[in-house]
Chain A
Amino acid sequence: MVKRYGDFTAVDDVSLRVEAGDFFGFLGPNGAGKTTTISAIVGLARITSGSIEVFGYDNVTQWREARRFIGLAPQEYNFDRYLSIRDVLIFQAGYYGLAPRLVRERADELLEQFGLQRHAKLEYTKLSGGMKRRLTLARALVHDPKILILDEPTAGVDVELRLELWALLRRLNAEGMTIFLTTHYLEEAEALCRNIGIIRAGRLVALEPTRDLLARAGRGLQDIFLELTRA
């Protein structure tokens, strides 16, 4: 895919395939094109050329089908400030076509799973940073997607919650969920991802299994990342 904003090329001929069930890490420095790529996959950005398929559905011509498979946990908190956090989940499921009576139980399960059930009636502005991060993930999962796209899911959370989220992501992946993760924490990518893509200035500079990437250089991911992104 290619994505241009006027004269500026944000994503330049990036071509990659994430297999179903994969835990894929998409890494790159700030402004490299990670969030633009994610925005294009979920339909928030319109690609200039190329195509994106989600489980066989083109995300432009078959957008309804494609979007139903995707759960997005964005980097910024963008909850509806007029809703309680329980309603944030129920209304989000509603936008995916799931009637409230069908998702109330699912919403309660997710609140329980993410330790938010005590705060179910609060607005999101009353939550701590860690709780907001959990709510972001719960909302992404409420319609039972097949691929979870995570944009910096552990940014700004403490070590305990980070490890908790890692365990959750591993479990979801083990249960068959495909995960597409962007992160600035390279140890996170090293610990979680089976395959890694590295993007620099809109171009893909590496795309291989994490194990091979680490073995190739015989060093840590940080050294490889710096070498590839500074060049």
Chain B
Amino acid sequence: MIARINHVAMLTLIRREMVRSIKIINQVIWPPIITTLLYVFVFGMALGSRIKQVQGVSYSEFLIPGLIMLQVIDSSYGECSSSVFQGRFMNSIQEMLIAPMSAGEIVFGYVLGSLVRALVIANIIMVLGVIFVHTLPRDWVLYFGVMMLVAVLFSALGVIFGLLAEKFDHIAVLTTFAITPLVFVGGVFTSAQLLPPFLRNFELFNPMFYTIDAFRYSYTGQSYLPLWLSLTVIGGLACVSLGTALRMAAVGYKLRT
């Protein structure tokens, strides 16, 4: 009798993703942490002395949740897109394709593996926030809930772009032209309240704004948008992204001929 879900295979893929992250730790774990520390010291100290309070907290405290979200988005997309693309490029993904693994098990394996990496990075930054900025999340359920939802959204996008890409260069397209600019203008460094009105309206079309605004609520207890709206947008986008990744894997898009 064959199990309907191959849990062992999915756990194996999650473990494989963790092994991969450890093998390339200098490329995927330390850089986001060092970059975050630099942001905290350079921006937090340089600008923090001039900006007294943002959303009722010091600028450095305001900065930490935005920086965590920045790295969660970056690492979850990066992990899945490069791992899926490399698997296709080296054909090693065939090890899974010939095994009794469903498309869902493969996609969830990649997404959850990437989620683990994002959680590790995020929580190291959270601890650094405690040490250097003396700030801690107030709402842990929201902290982990938003983090996981966002990681799932961008991991699934990573799977999609890992499947679409024809060369390594292609997986950087979304990062360079969408993710990075939208994250930077999406409220990592500034509150929407400080922006001119026309830019504030623009932010409503920026999905990153919803992720950062909702996540910051777990630290400051305040948000620019109603929390339910941000959670609905993030949840909706995560469902669309995950659904698309599952569909592409199920039809064997660029996986099976």
Contact = CB atoms under 8 A, between A and B. Distances in A.
12 contacts: A43-B256, A44-B256, A46-B252, A64-B102, A65-B100, A68-B100, A78-B91, A83-B16, A91-B12, A95-B101, A96-B99, A97-B100
A216 interface: no
B77 to A, nearest CB: 19
Interface stretch (B1-9, B59-67, B203-211, B218-226): B1-9
Nearest to A96: B99
B20 A82 contact: yes
Interface string B84-106: 00000011101111111110000
A63 B250 CA distance: 13
A17 interface: no
Interface in A79-134: 79-83, 87, 91-92, 94-100
B16 A80 contact: yes
Range for the number of chain B residues in contact with chain A: 20 to 34
B19 interface: yes
A99 B15 CA distance: 12
A220 to B, nearest CB: 35
B8 A98 contact: yes
A45 interface: yes
B257 interface: yes
Contacts of B100: 63-65, 67-68, 95-97
A5 B257 contact: yes
Interface in B1-49: 2-3, 6, 8-9, 11-13, 15-16, 19-20, 23-24
A68 B2 contact: yes
Contacts of B6: 64, 97
A99 to B, nearest CB: 5
B102 to A, nearest CB: 8
Given A39-B257, A46-B252, A87 B19 contact: yes
Interface of B: 2-3, 6, 8-9, 11-13, 15-16, 19-20, 23-24, 90-92, 94-102, 252, 256-257
A74 interface: yes
Contact of B8 (A63, A78, A81, A97): A97
Contacts of B3: 97
Given A80-B90, A81-B92, 17 more contacts: A43-B256, A44-B98, A46-B252, A78-B91, A78-B92, A78-B94, A80-B95, A82-B23, A83-B19, A91-B95, A92-B95, A94-B8, A95-B12, A95-B100, A96-B9, A96-B100, A97-B6
Interface in A53-82: 63-65, 67-68, 70, 72, 74, 76, 78-82
Nearest to A41: B98
Given A64-B100, A68-B2, A94 B12 contact: yes
6 closest cross-chain pairs (CB), A and B: A94-B12, A95-B99, A78-B91, A64-B100, A82-B20, A67-B100
Instruction: Categorize the interface residue count of chain A.
Output: 20 to 34
Contact of B19 (A42, A70, A82, A100): A82
A66 B198 CA distance: 59
Contacts of A78: 90-92, 94-95
A79 B2 CA distance: 26
Contact of B98 (A5, A43, A64, A98): A43
B91 A80 contact: no
Given A82-B23, A83-B19, A99 B95 contact: no
Contact of B257 (A44, A92, A96, A139): A44
A46 B9 contact: no
Contacts of B99: 67, 92, 95-96
Given A94-B9, A97-B6, A42 B92 contact: no
A37 to B, nearest CB: 12
Nearest to A69: B100
A39 B24 CA distance: 32
A32 to B, nearest CB: 17
B98 A70 contact: yes
B257 to A, nearest CB: 5
Given A80-B16, A91-B12, A95-B12, A42 B95 contact: no
A42 B9 contact: no
B18 to A, nearest CB: 10
A14 B211 CA distance: 54
A118 B9 CA distance: 27
